[in-house]
Amino acid sequence: MEEVNYQEQFSEDTALRLRDLEEKQRILKDRVLLIGQNLIDTKEKTSEDILEIKKDLEKIKDNLEKIKRFIESISTEFQKFARKDDLNILIKQAKMFQPLKYLKENAE
């Protein structure tokens, strides 16, 4: 009788352990699925972020190219302007030669 009782106890313990193992396995499976889904979500979000950064980078490159062309255009225009030294020389020459003052002196 004790042997039957021992076998029943062993069967119950084994069944309980088996259920515990099955429950642990189910929990692990759920966790793995959740981790996998989180990984997929993170990958999709990262891909979207990278795509957005690439678009922003292209806009920045375009703007930089426009600025570069503008600076080149301005620099060629600056070469056409007179320098301050050249203007000062012209002002001195104009002061030295004042035809109206010369005409007033001769008219008197």
The domain tally of the chain equals 1
Q: What is the Cα–Cα distance from 52 to 102, expressed in whole angstroms?
A: 74
- Beta-carbon contacts of 3 under 8 Å, excluding residues fewer than 6 positions away, are none
- What does the pLDDT average to over 63-85? 86
Range of the domain at 90: 2-107
Say if pTM beats, i.e. exceeds, 0.75: no
Q: Which two tokens stand for residue 103?
A: 């005409």
Q: What is the Cα–Cα distance from 7 to 14, expressed in whole angstroms?
A: 10
For 73, the enclosing helix (H) or strand (E) is: helix 2-78
pLDDT in tens, 20-49: 999 999 999 999 999 999 999 999 999 999
- Beta-carbon contacts of 90 under 8 Å, excluding residues fewer than 6 positions away, are 82
